[in-house]
């Protein structure tokens, strides 16, 4: 039987909300809600940052054999001038306190099919059971005064793995 793999947005209680085919919204508050409340505003001065979003693989049904090579990547697009999304990894599944302070990560849109973020640096697998697996992908949006007003077009993130 094939595994059932989900992507969870992690919360402060280290429990996750299934976002497998859903939306993760960068916000000015710490919640997994997807609505238009607590939007990020274009600053008149220094850059502002969203609260971090932490995503992790969750296996609700374990694989028949094994899963390895957990990874994630962007579509290589971006939101345009004045808006950046950075990422960092917390290996071994360590949840970090949500923050709206700059995480000073790596450009998320620099990750692509050929240059994915490695989500099993410490928890390398092969994974054969249920539960949370791999490293936590932490994302954060930054907005500068040079950003244009208006709604952004959604971008896609891909989470991939090898199942044998």
> pTM of the prediction?
0.91
Q: Under 8 Å CB-to-CB from 15, ≥6 apart: which residues?
A: none
pLDDT on residue 121: 82
pLDDT on residue 50: 96
Please write the tens of the pLDDT for every residue from 27-78: 999 888 899 999 999 999 999 999 999 999 999 988 888 999 999 999 999 9
Mean pLDDT in residue range 145-162 = 94
**Nearest-angstrom CA–CA distance, 71 and 113:** 9
**Nearest-angstrom CA–CA distance, 100 and 143:** 12
Angle at 33 between CA 97 and CA 101, to 5 degrees: 35
**Nearest-angstrom CA–CA distance, 56 and 123:** 12
**Nearest-angstrom CA–CA distance, 57 and 48:** 28
Q: Under 8 Å CB-to-CB from 22, ≥6 apart: which residues?
A: 34
For residue 164, pLDDT over 90 is answered with no
Work out the number of other CB atoms within 10 angstroms of the CB of residue 17: 16
Q: Under 8 Å CB-to-CB from 66, ≥6 apart: which residues?
A: 125, 126, 127, 128, 163, 164
Please write the tens of the pLDDT for every residue from 93-125: 667 788 999 999 999 999 999 999 999 887 677
Angle at 156 between CA 151 and CA 159, to 5 degrees: 150
Place of tokens 């939007």: 39
pLDDT on residue 11: 73
Domain ranges in the chain are 4-21+44-146
């Amino acid at each position: 039987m094939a595994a059932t793999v989900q992507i969870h947005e992690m919360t402060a209680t280290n429990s996750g909300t299934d976002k497998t085919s859903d939306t993760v919204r960068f916000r000015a508050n710490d919640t997994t809600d997807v609505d238009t409340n607590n939007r990020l505003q274009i600053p008149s001065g220094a850059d502002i940052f969203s609260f971090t979003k932490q995503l992790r693989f969750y296996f609700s049904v374990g694989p028949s054999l094994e899963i390895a090579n957990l990874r994630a990547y962007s579509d290589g697009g971006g939101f345009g001038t004045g808006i950046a999304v950075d990422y960092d990894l917390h290996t071994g599944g360590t949840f970090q306190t949500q923050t709206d302070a700059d995480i000073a990560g790596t450009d998320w849109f620099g990750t692509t099919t050929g240059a994915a973020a490695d989500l099993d640096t410490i928890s390398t697998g092969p994974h054969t059971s249920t539960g949370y697996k791999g490293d936590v992908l932490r994302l954060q949006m930054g907005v500068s005064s040079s950003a244009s007003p208006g709604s952004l077009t959604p971008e896609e993130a891909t989470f991939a793995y090898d199942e044998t």
